[in-house]
C-alpha cells in the first residue's frame, strides 16, 4: 500500500563520464546515495549537476560509467523503466491538461484502475494543498501553484527515486523559503530517495541530509551540511559555501620556539605547539590560510569561551550594515579581510581595529593541490 509507505532504493554512480561533442561535462562521478536519503547536488552553473541528474533520470546516457539502482544497473534503461520521477526547473506541467489530468497522467499510462487513480490524485493534491485547483488549466495558475502540481505529479507515481532540478529557482524569495521546508517535510513523510539539484547554498544546507559539491564536472566533496561548512575538503568548497566568502590569505609556515607562525605580507598569526606535527612538511613553504568572516571578532564582541586566539590589526575600508549583521572590510596593508560581526557594531571608515581570530576555526590548504590540511 502506498501513501507513506514508499519502497525506496539506493543509487550509485560509478565513474560516470559525459561528453557533449568536444566538451566534457562530467569527468568521472562516483556517488553513493542511501535509500530514503535527501542528497543535494550543489555547484555553480555549468558544473555538471543537472547533467548528473539527467543521467540518473535516463534522459542522457553516460559516455562512460554506470548508474545502479539497488542491485540493478539501469544505465541502458529508458526513463520510464527506472521507476523515477522528476520535478523540472520549468515545472513542465503539461499546458493542454487540467491539473487533475496532469497528476493522473503517469498513473493512466501505468493502467492503474480508475478509482485508485482518483484516490491517489486526491491524496497528492491534499498533501500539496492544491485540491481546489484540480479542474484548472496550468495557465490559470501562479508559478508557485504550478510548482506544487509538478511535485504532486512526481510523488503520485510512487517513485523509487525522486529527482528535482532546481525546482525553487523560478519562485520569488518568500515562496522559496516556504517551499524549502515544505518539500523537506514532504520528503521525510514519504521517505523517498531524493536527489536535488541547486546552485543555492542556503537551499542545500537547509534541505540536504548530505551535499555533493560539484565543480567543473567533478565532485569536490560529499558530506553532511555540517561537514561541508566546518570541514571543507578543499579551497573550492571552502570558498563556495558561506556568505560572505571565506578569506583566503597566502601564508608562509615558520617554526617558532613555542608553536608555528603563519607569516603573511601583512601580519603573523601564531599557532600553538600542537600544530607543529600537522604542518612539519610545510615548514618554509607557502599555504593558503582560510578564515570565515564569522570566525573573527572585533574587540568587545569576542565570545568568552574562545580557546585559542590571535589578533590582527587593520583599518576599516568599508562597512556593509545589513541590520542583523555588520560586514567590515578591513584593510590590513595589502589585503582586504572581510569580517562579519553583530549588527549593533558600527565602526567608522578609517578607524583602526583589532580583530580576534578563532584559531580553532581556521583552515590551511596546500597551495598546489588546494586540499585541506587543517
Partner 1 sequence: MSREVLVKKSDIVKYYLRKIIIAGLVTIAVTWVALPFVMTIIYALSDPDQYYDPHIVIPTRYTLEHIHKLIVLGAWNATINSVIVAVLTILFSFAIGLPAGYAFARYAFKGKDSLKLFIVALRMFPMMVIAVPLLVLYFKLGLADTLLGIALAHTAMALPFVILITSGIIAGVPVEYEEAGLVFGLNRIGAFFRITLPLALPGLAAAAIFTFIMSWNEVFIAAVLSFQNRTLPAFILNLIGGATDFIKFAGAFIMVIPALVFVFVAGKYLVRMWGITLK
Q: Which is nearer to partner 1, 84 or 134 (CB)?
A: 84
In the sheet that holds 325-331, the strands lie side by side as 296-298, 352-358, 309-321, 325-331, 336-342
Q: Retrieve residue 256's grid coordinates.
A: 617558532
Q: Retrieve residue 178's grid coordinates.
A: 516556504
Q: Choose which of 6, 51, 52, 85 interacts with partner 1 (CB under 8 A).
A: 85
* 88 is an interface residue for partner 1 by CB under 8 A: yes
124: nearest Cα among 142, 143, 97, 106: 106
Judged by CB under 8 A, the chain residues 291 through 330 that form the site for partner 1 are none
User: Total binding residues for partner 1 by CB under 8 A?
Assistant: 22
Any idea which residue has 571552502 for its cell? 238
Q: Which residues contact 272 (CB under 8 A, 6 or more apart)?
A: 258, 259, 308, 359
The DSSP H or E segment spanning 256 is strand 247-256
Among the candidate windows 5-13, 86-94, 212-220, 240-248, which touches partner 1 by CB under 8 A? 86-94
Q: Which is nearer to partner 1, 136 or 308 (CB)?
A: 136
Any idea which residue has 566533496 for its cell? 221
In whole angstroms, how far apart are CA 345 and each of 103, 130, 277, 320, 358?
Answer: 52, 46, 38, 11, 19
Q: Retrieve residue 198's grid coordinates.
A: 541547486
Q: Which is nearer to partner 1, 84 or 327 (CB)?
A: 84
Question: What's the CA gap between 152 and 87, in Å, rounded?
Answer: 9
25: nearest Cα among 1, 5, 2, 45: 45
Among the candidate windows 104-112, 231-239, 276-284, 322-330, which touches partner 1 by CB under 8 A? 104-112
Q: Nearest distance from residue 99's CB to partner 1, in Å?
A: 14
Q: Nearest distance from residue 110's CB to partner 1, in Å?
A: 6
Q: Choose which of 110, 185, 188, 280 interacts with partner 1 (CB under 8 A).
A: 110
Q: Nearest distance from residue 356's CB to partner 1, in Å?
A: 51
363: nearest Cα among 187, 271, 238: 238
Question: What's the CA gap between 290 and 296, in Å, rounded?
Answer: 12
Question: What's the CA gap between 339 and 330, in Å, rounded?
Answer: 7
Among the candidate windows 45-53, 83-91, 124-132, 173-181, which touches partner 1 by CB under 8 A? 83-91
* 147 is an interface residue for partner 1 by CB under 8 A: no
Q: Which is nearer to partner 1, 85 or 264 (CB)?
A: 85
Q: Choose which of 4, 95, 272, 333 interacts with partner 1 (CB under 8 A).
A: 95
Judged by CB under 8 A, the chain residues 42 through 81 that form the site for partner 1 are 57-59, 78-80
Q: Choose which of 24, 68, 92, 216 interacts with partner 1 (CB under 8 A).
A: 92
Q: Nearest distance from residue 12's CB to partner 1, in Å?
A: 20
Judged by CB under 8 A, the chain residues 251 through 270 that form the site for partner 1 are none
Q: Nearest distance from residue 82's CB to partner 1, in Å?
A: 9
Contact (CB, 8 A) for 294 and 340: yes
Q: Choose which of 43, 62, 106, 298 interacts with partner 1 (CB under 8 A).
A: 106
Q: Nearest distance from residue 366's CB to partner 1, in Å?
A: 41
Any idea which residue has 590589526 for its cell? 313
Judged by CB under 8 A, the chain residues 156 through 195 that form the site for partner 1 are 157
Question: What's the CA gap between 87 and 110, in Å, rounded?
Answer: 19
Question: What's the CA gap between 239 and 231, in Å, rounded?
Answer: 12
Q: Which residues contact 143 (CB under 8 A, 6 or more apart)?
A: 91, 170, 171, 172, 175
* 114 is an interface residue for partner 1 by CB under 8 A: no
Residues that bind partner 1 (CB under 8 A): 57-59, 78-80, 84-86, 88-90, 92, 94-96, 105-106, 109-110, 153, 157
Amino acid at each position: 500500500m502506498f501513501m507513506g509507505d514508499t519502497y525506496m532504493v539506493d543509487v550509485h554512480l560509478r565513474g560516470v563520464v559525459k561528453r557533449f561533442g568536444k566538451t566534457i561535462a562530467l569527468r568521472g562521478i562516483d556517488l553513493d546515495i542511501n535509500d530514503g536519503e535527501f542528497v543535494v547536488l550543489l555547484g555553480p552553473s555549468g558544473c555538471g549537476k543537472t547533467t548528473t541528474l539527467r543521467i540518473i533520470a535516463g534522459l542522457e546516457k553516460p559516455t562512460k560509467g554506470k548508474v545502479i539502482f539497488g542491485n540493478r544497473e539501469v544505465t541502458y534503461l529508458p526513463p520510464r523503466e527506472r521507476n523515477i520521477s522528476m520535478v523540472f526547473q520549468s515545472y513542465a506541467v503539461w499546458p493542454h491538461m487540467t491539473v487533475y489530468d496532469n497528476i493522473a497522467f503517469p498513473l493512466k499510462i501505468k493502467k492503474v484502475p480508475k478509482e485508485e487513480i482518483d484516490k491517489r490524485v486526491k491524496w497528492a493534491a491534499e498533501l500539496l494543498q492544491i485540491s481546489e485547483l484540480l479542474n484548472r488549466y496550468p495557465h490559470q495558475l501562479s508559478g508557485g501553484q504550478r510548482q506544487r502540481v509538478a511535485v504532486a505529479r512526481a510523488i503520485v507515481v510512487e517513485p523509487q527515486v525522486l529527482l528535482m532540478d532546481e525546482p525553487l529557482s523560478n519562485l520569488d524569495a518568500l515562496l522559496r523559503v516556504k517551499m524549502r521546508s515544505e518539500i523537506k517535510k514532504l520528503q521525510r513523510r514519504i521517505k523517498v530517495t531524493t536527489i536535488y539539484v541547486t546552485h543555492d547554498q542556503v537551499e542545500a544546507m537547509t534541505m540536504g541530509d548530505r551535499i555533493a559539491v560539484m565543480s567543473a564536472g567533478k565532485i569536490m566533496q560529499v558530506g553532511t551540511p555540517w561537514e561541508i561548512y566546518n570541514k571543507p575538503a578543499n579551497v573550492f568548497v571552502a570558498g563556495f559555501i558561506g556568505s560572505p566568502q571565506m578569506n583566503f590569505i597566502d601564508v608562509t609556515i615558520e617554526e617558532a620556539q613555542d608553536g608555528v607562525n603563519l607569516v603573511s605580507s601583512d601580519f603573523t598569526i601564531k599557532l600553538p605547539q600542537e600544530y607543529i606535527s600537522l604542518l612539519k612538511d610545510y615548514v618554509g613553504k607557502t599555504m593558503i590560510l582560510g578564515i570565515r568572516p564569522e570566525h573573527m571578532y572585533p574587540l568587545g564582541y569576542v565570545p568568552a569561551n574562545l580557546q585559542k586566539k590571535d589578533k590582527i590589526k587593520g583599518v576599516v575600508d568599508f562597512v556593509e550594515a545589513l541590520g542583523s549583521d555588520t560586514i567590515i572590510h578591513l584593510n590590513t596593508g595589502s589585503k582586504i579581510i572581510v569580517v562579519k560581526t553583530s549588527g549593533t557594531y558600527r565602526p567608522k571608515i578609517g578607524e583602526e581595529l583589532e580583530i580576534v581570530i578563532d584559531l580553532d576555526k581556521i583552515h590551511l590548504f596546500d597551495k598546489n593541490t588546494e586540499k585541506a590540511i587543517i
